[in-house]
Structure 1
Amino acid sequence: MSSGEVKKIDKETQKITLKHGEIKNMDMPGMTMVFKVLDPSLLDKVKVGDKVKFKAEKRNGALVVTAMETVQ
């Protein structure tokens, strides 16, 4: 899982903006970017400013968050 901070949540389009560290499974350096979410209910569990751990992968050409949990 990768670490990140929630910057924006868009429930209408089922997208989340994360400022994240390195995503090793995608060979991606840290940056801020928009991801789609596989399960829209993930967006109900976080708010802007939350620190999270998440899993992301490429599906049908889109970057998708497949799992996410808040970190204390």
Structure 2
Amino acid sequence: MARGGSGAASVSTDSNTSEGTIRKVDKENQKITIRHGELKNLDMPPMTMVFRVQDPAFVEAVNVGDEVKFVAEKLEGKFTVTHVEKKN
């Protein structure tokens, strides 16, 4: 389970938290691909997309196939995972 300094604080409401499955982990470029449900806070339908990670530890904490809960935000014009944790 990965928790970043400001990332953990981002999980303030359930409306920002989404669920998905890790499809690819790109450690070199600090990106993860997630097949996700609706991202209500970003007004996005379910799809598979690539996200930057706010905390480099996130790419070490997840593996392909992991089911996760995460928060994605648009930071500096790029979709970024600010919190991620494996589902129990």
- What TM-score bracket applies, with the shorter chain setting the length? over 0.9
Q: Give the RMSD, CA atoms, in angstroms.
A: 0.5
TM-score, reference length from structure 1: 0.98
Q: What number of residue pairs does the alignment pair up?
A: 72
More helix by share: 2
State the identity as a percent: 56
Residue 20 of structure 2 corresponds to 4
Return 5+ residue gaps in structure 1 as ranges: none
Stretches (4+) displaced over 4 A:
none
What aligned pairs does 1:45-64 form with structure 2 within 5 A after superposition?
Answer: 45-64=61-80
Return the index of the structure with the highest Cα Rg.
2
CA deviations 1:40-68 (Å, max 9, x no partner) are: 10111110000000000001110000000
More strand by share: 1
What aligned pairs does 1:1-72 form with structure 2 within 5 A after superposition?
Answer: 1-72=17-88
